[in-house]
C-alpha cells in the first residue's frame, strides 16, 4: 500500500466513523431492537393505525441502519489492512479494491443518512403560493407546481392535487399537492422557502425584465399517532370558510360550495381543500393538512431554538429568505443560495430535474448538523 492509498484509507475510515457518530447509529440499533420486541407482543395489531405507524418507523430505521452496518464492517476490515500496511505487509491491491467499494457504499449511506428524520419516510404536502410580481408571479407559481409534478412522475411517485386557486390572467394564486412515494417528505423538505424567477416578462407589452417570487411550504403527511390538540369549533382558534370548488380539473368536482379553507388564527396558518366531492370529506382532509402544518411549525420553532443556541441559522421557513434563483435573462442559470450549487440550465430544473438540487441541499444540511 503506497503512501497516497494509506492516507486515503485513513481519511475514508474517519469519514465513515464520523457519519456513524452523527447518526447515533448505536441508538438507532437499540430502537430497532425495542420496536422488534414491541411488534412481537400479543395485541400489537389491535390498533391497526398505531401498528402501521410503528411498522413504518421500523422500516425507515432499517433502511438507514442495515446498509450502514455493512459499511462500518468494511471500515473495520480496511482498518486492519492499514495496520498490516504500516507493519510492512503488501495489501495494496486488496486495500485499493476495498476503498473503491467503500466509497460507493459511503455515498449511498450518506444520502440515506440524510433521510433519517422522524417523518422523512412519509408522504408530503407541497403548498405553492404566488408572491410579489403580479401575473408573472402567478405564472411562476404554476411553473413550480408543474416542476414538482414532473419530478414525482419521473420517480414513479403518485400525486394528488388537493387544491388549486387559478389566477385571473394566467397561472395560480396557490395550490396544494400531495406527493406519495418512498421518502417523499425527506426528499422534498428542502424545497421550503421563497423561490425567485428573473426573466423577460411574457405579460409585459414592452417585454421588460421582471423579477417574481413564489413561496413553497412542504409538510409531512401524518398519521393519527401524532396528536395535536386543536379546538376546531372555537372561532377564536379556527376560522372556517366554505367556498365553491374551482381550478384545474374543475369539471370533476361538483359545483356546490364544497371547498373548505381553514385558518389557524394564533399562527395564521392556512390550508384549503377542494379535491373531495363533499364538504365533510374536504373538511376532514383540511384538518389533517392543518395538523401537519402546525406540527411542522412546532418543529421549525424547536429547530430555530437549537440553532440559536449553537449560533447557526435555522431551517428556512415558509415566507423566509430566498432559497433558489431561476435566472432566464440576461444570463441563464439556476442557483441554490444555501449550498451554492449552480447550473446553467434553469429550464431543465423547471422541467422537473430536481434530484441534483435535492442531493446538494441534503448534503449541505448534513454538514450544518455536523458543524
CATH code: domain of residue 38: 1.20.58.410
User: Does 293 lie in the same domain as 178?
Assistant: yes
pLDDT at 137: 95
User: Does 231 lie in the same domain as 134?
Assistant: yes
Q: Which residue has the higher pLDDT, 156 or 318?
A: 156
- Residue 38: CB atoms within 10 Å: 12
User: Does 158 lie in the same domain as 65?
Assistant: no
Among 120, 234, 139, smallest CA distance to 184 is for 120
Residues 334, 342: Cα–Cα separation, whole Å: 6
User: Does 214 lie in the same domain as 249?
Assistant: yes
Last residue of a domain, one of 88, 113, 138: 113
User: Does 234 lie in the same domain as 155?
Assistant: yes
Residues 90, 229: Cα–Cα separation, whole Å: 65
353 pLDDT band, cuts 50/70/90, is very high
pLDDT at 197: 96
Among 47-56, 132-141, 151-160, 187-196, the minimum mean pLDDT is found in 47-56
pLDDT at 316: 38
User: Does 271 lie in the same domain as 224?
Assistant: yes
pLDDT at 279: 86
- pLDDT tens digits, one per residue of 25-58: 788 889 999 999 999 888 888 888 788 778 877 8
Asked whether the predicted pLDDT for residue 289 surpasses 80, the reply is: yes
- Grid coordinates representing 66? 442495515
pLDDT at 14: 93
State the DSSP H helix or E strand holding residue 107, giving kind and residue range, or none if neither. helix 92-113
Last residue of a domain, one of 66, 94, 113: 113
119 within some domain:
no
Among 132, 177, 118, smallest CA distance to 153 is for 177
178 within some domain:
yes
What is the number of structural domains in the chain? 2
pLDDT at 97: 93
- Spatial contact of 121 and 115, defined as CB atoms under 8 Å apart: yes
Residues 141, 169: Cα–Cα separation, whole Å: 13
Asked whether the predicted pLDDT for residue 351 surpasses 70, the reply is: yes
User: Does 69 lie in the same domain as 209?
Assistant: no
- pLDDT tens digits, one per residue of 227-278: 788 899 999 999 999 887 665 444 444 455 688 999 999 999 999 898 777 8
User: Does 161 lie in the same domain as 74?
Assistant: no
Q: What number is the average pLDDT over the span 179-200?
A: 94
User: Does 62 lie in the same domain as 14?
Assistant: yes
| Angle of CA points 283, 284, 289, to nearest 5° | 95
pLDDT at 306: 56
Q: What's 253's domain CATH number?
A: 3.30.70.1660
Asked whether the predicted pLDDT for residue 352 surpasses 60, the reply is: yes
319 pLDDT band, cuts 50/70/90, is very low
pLDDT at 251: 42
Q: Return mean pLDDT, the chain.
A: 86
Asked whether the predicted pLDDT for residue 331 surpasses 80, the reply is: yes
Task: Note the pTM of the prediction, 2 decimals.
Answer: 0.72
| Angle of CA points 307, 17, 84, to nearest 5° | 160
260 within some domain:
yes
Among 121, 296, 123, 114, smallest CA distance to 217 is for 296
User: Does 141 lie in the same domain as 44?
Assistant: no
Backbone angles phi, psi at 122, to 5 degrees: -80, 165
280 within some domain:
yes
Last residue of a domain, one of 113, 142, 160: 113
Largest CA distance in the chain: 82
The most confident of the ranges 15-29, 163-177, 309-323 is: 163-177
61 pLDDT band, cuts 50/70/90, is confident
Domain of residue 318: give its range.
124-370
118 within some domain:
no
Q: What number is the average pLDDT over the span 293-309?
A: 76
Q: Which residue has the higher pLDDT, 189 or 251?
A: 189
Who's near 162: CB < 8 A, 6+ residues apart?
125, 176, 177, 178, 273, 274, 275, 285, 289
User: Does 176 lie in the same domain as 104?
Assistant: no
Amino acid at each position: 500500500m503506497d503512501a497516497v492509498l494509506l492516507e486515503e484509507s485513513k481519511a475514508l475510515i474517519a469519514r465513515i466513523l464520523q457519519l456513524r457518530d452523527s447518526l447515533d447509529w448505536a441508538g438507532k440499533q437499540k430502537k430497532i431492537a425495542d420496536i422488534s420486541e414491541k411488534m412481537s407482543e400479543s395485541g400489537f395489531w389491535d390498533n391497526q393505525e398505531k401498528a402501521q405507524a410503528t411498522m413504518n418507523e421500523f422500516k425507515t430505521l432499517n433502511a438507514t441502519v442495515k446498509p450502514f452496518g455493512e459499511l462500518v464492517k468494511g471500515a473495520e476490515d480496511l482498518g486492519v489492512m492499514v495496520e498490516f500496511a504500516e507493519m510492512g505487509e503488501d495489501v495494496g491491491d486488496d486495500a485499493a479494491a476495498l476503498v473503491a467499494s467503500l466509497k460507493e457504499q459511503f455515498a449511498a449511506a450518506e444520502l440515506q443518512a440524510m433521510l433519517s428524520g422522524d417523518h422523512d419516510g412519509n408522504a408530503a404536502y407541497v403548498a405553492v403560493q404566488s408572491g410579489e410580481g403580479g401575473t408573472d408571479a402567478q405564472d411562476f407559481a404554476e411553473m413550480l407546481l408543474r416542476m414538482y409534478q414532473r419530478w414525482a412522475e419521473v420517480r414513479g411517485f403518485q400525486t394528488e392535487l388537493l387544491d388549486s386557486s387559478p389566477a385571473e390572467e394566467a397561472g395560480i394564486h396557490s395550490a396544494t399537492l400531495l406527493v406519495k412515494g418512498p421518502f417523499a417528505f425527506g426528499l422534498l423538505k428542502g424545497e421550503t422557502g421563497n423561490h425567485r424567477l428573473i426573466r423577460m416578462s411574457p405579460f409585459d407589452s414592452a417585454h421588460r425584465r421582471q423579477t417574481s417570487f413564489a413561496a413553497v411550504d412542504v409538510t409531512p403527511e401524518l398519521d393519527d399517532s401524532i396528536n395535536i390538540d386543536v379546538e376546531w369549533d372555537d372561532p377564536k382558534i379556527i376560522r372556517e370558510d366554505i367556498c365553491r370548488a374551482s381550478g384545474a380539473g374543475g369539471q370533476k368536482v361538483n359545483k356546490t360550495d364544497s371547498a373548505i379553507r381553514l385558518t389557524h388564527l394564533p399562527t395564521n396558518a392556512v390550508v384549503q381543500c377542494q379535491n373531495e366531492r363533499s364538504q365533510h370529506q374536504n373538511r376532514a382532509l383540511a384538518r389533517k393538512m392543518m395538523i401537519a402544518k402546525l406540527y411542522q411549525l412546532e418543529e421549525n420553532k424547536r429547530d430555530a431554538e437549537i440553532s440559536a443556541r449553537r449560533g447557526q441559522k435555522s431551517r428556512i421557513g415558509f415566507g423566509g429568505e430566498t432559497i433558489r434563483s431561476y435566472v432566464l435573462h440576461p444570463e441563464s442559470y439556476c442557483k441554490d443560495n444555501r449550498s451554492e450549487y449552480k447550473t446553467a440550465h434553469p429550464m431543465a430544473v423547471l422541467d422537473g430535474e430536481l434530484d441534483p438540487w435535492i442531493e446538494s441541499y441534503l448534503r449541505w444540511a448534513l454538514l450544518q448538523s455536523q458543524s
